[in-house]
Amino acid sequence: MTQPFRLPTAGRLDAAGTVSFTFDGKAHAGLAGDTLASALLANGVHLVGRSFKYHRPRGILSAGAEEPNALVGIHRDPARKTPNVRATVQELYDGLAAVSQNRWPSLAFDVGALNDLGAPFFSAGFYYKTFMWPRAAWERLYEPVIRRAAGLGTAPDQPDPDRYSNRFAHCDVLVVGGGAAGLAAALAASEAGARVILADEQAEPGGSLRFEDGAFIDGKPGWEWAQQTAAQLAARDNVRLLTRTTGFGYYAQNMLGLVECLTDHLAAPDPEAPRERLWQVRAKRVVLATGAIERHMVFPDNDRPGIMLASAARAYLNHFGVAVGRRVAVYTADDSAYAAAIDLKEKGVEIAALVDLRPAPQGAHVDEARALGIEVLAGHAVTGTEGRLRVHRVNVAPVNGGAPRRIEADALVTSSGWTPAVHLFSQSRGKLAFNEATQRFLPGQYVQDAVSVGAGNGTTGLGEAIAEALQAGGKAAKEAGVSKARAKVPNLEAGSTERWSSGMAGAAPGAEAGRKAMAFVDFQNDVTAKDIRQAVQEGMRSIEHVKRFTTTGMATDQGKTSNLHALTIASEMLGKPIPEVGLTTFRPPYTPVTFGALVGHGRGALFEPTRRTPIHAWAEAHGAVFEDVGQWKRAWYFPSGGEDMHAAVARECRTVRQSAGIFDASTLGKIEVVGPDAARFMELMYTNPWQKLAVGRCRYGIMLREDGFIYDDGVVGRLAEDRFHVTTTTGGAPRVLHHMEDYLQTEFPDLKVWLTSTSEQWATIAVQGPKSRDIVAPLVEGIDLSDEAMPHMSVREGRVCGVPARLFRISFTGERGFEINVPADYGLSVWEAVWAEGGKHGACAYGTETMHVLRAEKGFIIVGQDTDGTVTPDDAGLAWAIGRKKTDFVGIRGLKRPDLTAPGRRQLVGLKTFDPKTVLEEGAQIVADPNQPVPMKMIGFVTSSYWSENCGRSIALALVENGSHRMGERLHVPMEDGAIEVEVVPTVFFDEKGERTNG
Amino acid sequence: MLLIHCPYCEEERPELEFRHAGEAHIARPENIAEIADEAFQRYFFIRANPKGVTFERWRHIHGCGRFFNAARDTVSDRFLMTYRVGEPKPDLRKIDRK
Amino acid sequence: MAEIARRMSALEGRAYEGPGIALTPDPPASRLSLRAPEASLSALSKALGLTLPDKPKTAAADGSRAALWLGPDEWLVIDEECADLAALCASVSALHSAVDISHRNTAILVTGERAEDVLGAGCPQDLSPTRFPVGAASRTVFGKAEIVLWRIGEEAFRIECWRSFSDYVFSLLEKAAREA
């Protein structure tokens, strides 16, 4: 395997570090330190992809993050197929497998290229205009076909096996960009003692020093200085140097998002290591040293493989030691491209011609080029190119008329000038200012504590950029309040032979208005100069409209190389100066960010906390099936001996009512309300009266919102005059506490009472059923369990299994029942003791499903299931729980609202199906007349529905209009296969007289 | 992610520790049980929702737990100031809107 | 009489040690959620044997006992020798609320030179020594869980979180710790 375009005398890579890789299955060799792009070019491969819309052959345009064309898929394994990777930033590793995209059946022969022949029809707005009619065809025909044809690359069809990481970080000075200016700024800031983070997107900092061979800093070649400085910075305790790290977003209050790539460059990454890390950095000061991006020339057929940016050709030559062609032509409208011609020529590459659009370029660079024997064609334009899969000929003509020339060349490097990378500055909401002299947008007014330096700030000379960055770094440290700011700003001598001039933007000759040429502005979205003009002709006036109509700048590269061209062409068409037309908004991310990086650790088991009770392990060991209740895992039912859910729940329901059942109620919310005003506060928060509740007694409380609707419920025990043990629903615990704190802190701040969540202090074990007292009794110390001493709805403090306990005599099943609360770490042990006692009485463990059925048999509501935020206590049959003599509680006024007192509201009722075996579906709608035309008038819906083993039939609860006045009425539940007839009945299905709580 | 100055913790803390809690300076009527429907409507349902400076309640729920008030510009999404519960509504003219 | 119940901590058997980082569940401690107005502080301080701190983000420690300022009228009192803190406060007549939360919380010690970095995986506060010095304590978040964070040494933090969140908190810490 040879690398025919690798030059032995150029570049910085070690010729011994051979690395093999494949592109579309073909094996190639590259060198360690290569990017995929440089390695492909070393092998003479320019054709790497097909364009998005016209499927035109495309090559490598750039050598960096701005790349619009060279997007490939990197396939590590079946689950690790990353589409749309820019070959120019993908570091080469041994065994790398890349595939081209957007072509079928092959890159060289692509059927989709037929689109190119139809290009006259596919102009801007084509989709909007063409697929309008017939309307129905959009969904069935157009969209599926377009979707199949469009898109870039293919997404993997397996879950992402990689890990991702997150870090919050804080620093005095964040420097984004590790080129000459960024390094200098970081140097100065860190020397002043500031905590500095320096982020650079490349593996090695240095920025454009990578190709600017004429740069000298501190007496050293620029690149050498950059590497030494980076090492020096990395060694400092107060500096965090992040390489392969892109600052992609600038958010409020100096928070920036950075993505650090950790493993994409490795041949065999540690599977435990994260692939990427998201840094959420809060910086006191930000130094933006983001550099500038070279623009291509907009001329006919400027998109053939082999046509690339002049600076990219220099990077491939000077850093990677790769010649982009054997005979290279140069097309420029500025000075900087001369260096490409000179560098190439000096390394032995033939320069076919240097075409300069300007009539009379002058200066040392021009003289030097000529002296090297390069033919400089001043006042000439490239009017077209030839070559199917790679450029092989460049057509040149004098701008002011004259004989055209056809020049043989296997590469054409172009430059129309440099666009400062102001993306992050703009994202920070800073205002850009248009510089007339240099025709550039530069950072203008800052809104955040940031400063731009170097090429990104429009500072073009190396010496000036270094001086500016050193000053800015030192100043940023000082402004960040670093005390050691006595430190002198370091001084660095820097100079360069590099040349810069402002260049041009917009269409070059041959691509002017009226020409049919395919002169591409935006390569990735296949937008030509003609498309931009057409958008204006068709009435688009705002650049935002032009952008959306043509999709210019809307591809994944966000128009880094193209936006200024598009803007210039639009402004010419509109006859308005550029600043009046304005730029489109820069939005994060600067370069594409994976979802993985944004998600970070938050996937799988860490997606959100999974909360388990102290008794969870026991339930798991005893075969429980769990259900998710909010973040909690709750035992749903305990199948035994091959039972299905139905059989297990039926057995559990029977057992509880025949002997006893044991239930883990630890997830119930618990709030301790303590203070001399505790009862007064409870009066305000709940509808019930509390002042007269005796110590040691419990009451079922209902909490409303101010609008009068039920918000939560639960049993409350009074432990002392000034102490209540409040329980809430499992899901309601946090919001009930928040709601109570809200009133306490902001409406009733004078009340002497405090609230403490004790949800997790206590493990709660419910023992329910006729045998419950027999089971509990042997474990309890110091509490008289007789009905006289401890009647239903009471609470006692004592000891259970030798540990402090709060024992409630309460029932959510209608049976005699206890709830044992013990400190959570004892929960499992106490449960095991209760279980052992239960075994003597034939008790079972039961889960939430049985709990639901048993409470429904008794007509007890579950807030959130039988209520939906529009149900009043009266609607739920709970009007008795409102303290009629009370003059205030939250919701007292809401209850008097006309709608809430109007007759005919939906009220909670029981439903019995005529066929006792039919179990209704929860959520099913209820109608009075099943034979009415559709849409039927719905008068209610089923809120709870179960098979009741104890009743020997199905039971249901429902909210039905005027339900409490419909007892005995027949209603209907229309389902897909016919209406189910039901009878309206009271909500209590079992033990109507409520005798079993003492049974 | 914003930084929000908690007037009880006396420093700026990350937004993740806070929860928004609706418009500020809406006092629950003392005699709420007696007020007319229109008064209840104004108290419970009607909110200013201005474009520009708004006064709103926040709670440092994952910090000191305190509710407090804030003046925030809904256009710039900047917090202009925060202050403790019970302190009077600040004079808009004296707030630096930057 | 039944056997005395055994205590089982939520993080039984969990621990992690890697280069520059150790994650260690702390043994059971007694804890009190103490709420009181300013006027009660001296009486309560006396009863508890340490001065309740009144500055935000601070803690006071004395031997096995510490009080962390959580809010203007709220302290988390911890005693690593499991003293009955509620009983100490019971004798105080000055206005206050003392609620035993010994079992509600569980503690994880995060120690080593990478402690700050590992905590940065989920805690958005600036934990550098200038902003979060030794002795600083604050309720905050770690990932999607609420925690109380207390810096007990240059390279040592104590995390207090609710029992059922401890698995999540420990797992996230461990995930971050493993990314050396």
Tell me, what's the pLDDT at C60? 98
Question: CA A688 to CA A695: how far, in whole Å?
Answer: 16
Of A914, A812, A913, A827, give the one whose Cα is nearest residue A861: A812
Tell me, what's the pLDDT at A130? 65
Query: Tokens 């330190």 identify what position?
Result: A33
- Fold adopted by A1-156: Ubiquitin-like (UB roll) (3.10.20)
Phi-psi region of A674 (alpha: psi -120 to 50; beta: other; left: phi over 0): beta
- Of the residues B1, B4, B13, B68, the best mutation for testing chain C's interface (the one with the most C CB atoms within 10 Å of its CB) is B13
Q: State the pLDDT confidence band at A999, using cuts at 50, 70 and 90.
A: confident
3-state secondary structure (DSSP) of residue C172: helix
Amino acid, single-letter form, for residue C131: R
Tokens of A795: 């609470």
Q: State the pLDDT confidence band at A994, using cuts at 50, 70 and 90.
A: very high
Tell me, what's the pLDDT at A152? 75
| Per-residue H/E/C for A288-326 | ECCCEEEECCECCCCCCCCEEEHHHHHHHHHCCCECCCC
Asked if B2 is an interface residue toward chain A (Cβ–Cβ < 8 A), one would say: yes
**Per-residue pLDDT reduced to its tens digit, A667-700:** 999 999 999 999 999 999 999 999 999 999 999 9
Asked if B59 is an interface residue toward chain A (Cβ–Cβ < 8 A), one would say: yes
Asked if C172 is an interface residue toward chain A (Cβ–Cβ < 8 A), one would say: yes
Mean pLDDT of A287-316: 98
Question: CA A147 to CA C126: how far, in whole Å?
Answer: 46
Q: DSSP class of residue A662?
A: E
Q: What is the CA radius of gyration of chain C?
A: 17
With a CB cutoff of 8 Å and minimum separation 6, the contacts of A218 are A225, A492, A493, A494
Asked if C94 is an interface residue toward chain A (Cβ–Cβ < 8 A), one would say: no
Which residues pair with residue A700 across a beta bridge?
A715
Higher per-residue confidence, C179 vs A743? A743
Select the residue of B3, B32, B65 nearest A893 (Cβ to Cβ): B32
Chain B interface, Cβ < 8 Å to C: 1, 8-11, 13-14, 16-17, 62-66
**Chosen CATH of A297-415 out of 3.30.300.30, 3.30.365.10, 3.50.50.60, 3.30.70.960:** 3.50.50.60
Are residues A229 and A185 in contact, defined by beta-carbon separation less than 8 angstroms?
no
Mean pLDDT of chain A: 94
Q: State the pLDDT confidence band at A145, using cuts at 50, 70 and 90.
A: low
Tell me, what's the pLDDT at A540? 92
Chains contacting A (3+ CB pairs below 8 angstroms): B, C
Tokens of A627: 């259900």
Residue ranges per structural domain of chain A: 1-156, 164-292+420-496, 297-415, 505-575, 612-667+763-783+813-852, 668-758, 903-998
Task: List the single range of A18-27, A139-148, A735-744, C7-16 with lowest mean pLDDT.
Answer: A139-148
User: What are the backbone angles phi and psi of residue A196, rounded to the nearest 5°?
Assistant: -115, 135
Mean pLDDT of A233-254: 97
Question: CA A976 to CA A987: how far, in whole Å?
Answer: 27
- Of the residues C97, C125, C147, C161, the best mutation for testing chain B's interface (the one with the most B CB atoms within 10 Å of its CB) is C125
Strand pairing report for A844-845 and A661-664: parallel
**Chosen CATH of C29-101 out of 3.40.1190.20, 3.30.43.10, 3.40.50.1000, 3.30.70.1520:** 3.30.70.1520
With a CB-CB cutoff of 8 Å, which residues 654-713 of chain A face chain C?
Answer: 672, 674-676
Indicate yes or no: CB of C3 within 8 angstroms of CB of A166.
no
Which residues pair with residue A404 across a beta bridge?
none
Q: Specify the DSSP element, H or E, that contains A898.
A: helix A898-901
Question: CA A230 to CA A200: how far, in whole Å?
Answer: 10
- Fold adopted by A612-667+763-783+813-852: Gyrase A; domain 2 (3.30.1360)
Of C50, C155, C169, C52, give the one whose Cα is nearest residue C107: C169
Asked if A753 is an interface residue toward chain C (Cβ–Cβ < 8 A), one would say: yes
Closest CA–CA distance from residue A475 to any residue of chain C (Å): 21
Residue ranges per structural domain of chain B: 3-94
List strand residue ranges (DSSP E) for A835-924, in order. 844-845, 906-913
Mean pLDDT of A833-844: 98
**Per-residue pLDDT reduced to its tens digit, C17-45:** 999 999 999 999 999 999 999 999 999 99
Amino acid, single-letter form, for residue C21: I
Mean pLDDT of A842-866: 98
Tell me, what's the pLDDT at B93? 78
Q: Which residue of chain A comes nearest to C162, CA vs CA?
A: A760
Mean pLDDT of A33-50: 97
Are residues A110 and A24 in contact, defined by beta-carbon separation less than 8 angstroms?
no
Q: Which residue of chain B comes nearest to A429, CA vs CA?
A: B76
Measured CA distances, A452 to A65, A265, A457, A459, A474 (Å) = 19, 30, 5, 10, 13
Select the residue of B32, B57, B66 nearest A888 (Cβ to Cβ): B32
Closest CA–CA distance from residue A798 to any residue of chain C (Å): 14
Question: CA A332 to CA A504: how far, in whole Å?
Answer: 9
Work out the number of other CB atoms within 10 angstroms of the CB of residue A38: 31
CATH 3.30.1360.120 positions along chain C are 12-27+104-180
Question: CA B83 to CA B72: how far, in whole Å?
Answer: 12
Q: Specify the DSSP element, H or E, that contains A368.
A: helix A364-371
Tokens of A769: 């059923």
Are residues C143 and C165 in contact, defined by beta-carbon separation less than 8 angstroms?
no
Indicate yes or no: CB of C5 within 8 angstroms of CB of A274.
no
**Chain C residues near residue A752 by CB distance under 8 angstroms:** 95
**Per-residue pLDDT reduced to its tens digit, C6-21:** 999 999 999 999 999 9
Asked if A164-292+420-496 and A297-415 have one fold, the answer is yes
Q: In the CATH scheme, what is the homologous superfamily, with its name and number, of domain A164-292+420-496?
A: FAD/NAD(P)-binding domain (3.50.50.60)
Tell me, what's the pLDDT at A129? 66
CATH code: domain C12-27+104-180 is 3.30.1360.120
Amino acid, single-letter form, for residue A915: D
Query: Tokens 């040149």 identify what position?
Result: A396
Asked if A953 is an interface residue toward chain C (Cβ–Cβ < 8 A), one would say: no
Highest CATH level, class, for A668-758: alpha beta
Q: DSSP class of residue C62?
A: E
Q: Which residue of chain A comes nearest to C144, CA vs CA?
A: A608
Tell me, what's the pLDDT at A498? 84
Q: State the pLDDT confidence band at A131, using cuts at 50, 70 and 90.
A: low
Amino acid, single-letter form, for residue A492: L
Q: State the pLDDT confidence band at A120, using cuts at 50, 70 and 90.
A: low
Q: In the CATH scheme, what is the homologous superfamily, with its name and number, of domain B3-94?
A: Folate-binding superfamily (3.30.2270.10)
Tell me, what's the pLDDT at A371? 97
Are residues A609 and C145 in contact, defined by beta-carbon separation less than 8 angstroms?
yes
Question: CA A782 to CA A136: how far, in whole Å?
Answer: 77
Q: Specify the DSSP element, H or E, that contains A856.
A: helix A848-857
CATH code: domain A903-998 is 2.40.30.110
With a CB-CB cutoff of 8 Å, which residues 27-66 of chain C face chain A?
Answer: 28, 33, 35
Question: CA A336 to CA A311: how far, in whole Å?
Answer: 8
Q: What share of chain C is helix, strand, coil (3-state, %, to 5)?
A: 20, 35, 45
Indicate yes or no: CB of B66 within 8 angstroms of CB of C140.
no
Chains contacting C (3+ CB pairs below 8 angstroms): A, B
Task: List the single range of A39-48, A124-133, A604-613, C150-159 with lowest mean pLDDT.
Answer: A124-133
Tell me, what's the pLDDT at B70? 97
CATH code: domain A505-575 is 1.10.10.1100
| ipTM computed for the complex | 0.98
Phi-psi region of A572 (alpha: psi -120 to 50; beta: other; left: phi over 0): alpha
CATH 3.30.70.1520 positions along chain C are 29-101
Question: CA A326 to CA A44: how far, in whole Å?
Answer: 10
Indicate yes or no: CB of B17 within 8 angstroms of CB of C74.
no
Q: Is the pLDDT of residue A585 over 90?
A: no
With a CB cutoff of 8 Å and minimum separation 6, the contacts of C15 are C22, C23, C24, C25
With a CB cutoff of 8 Å and minimum separation 6, the contacts of A310 are A294, A330, A332, A336, A337, A339, A340, A413, A414, A415
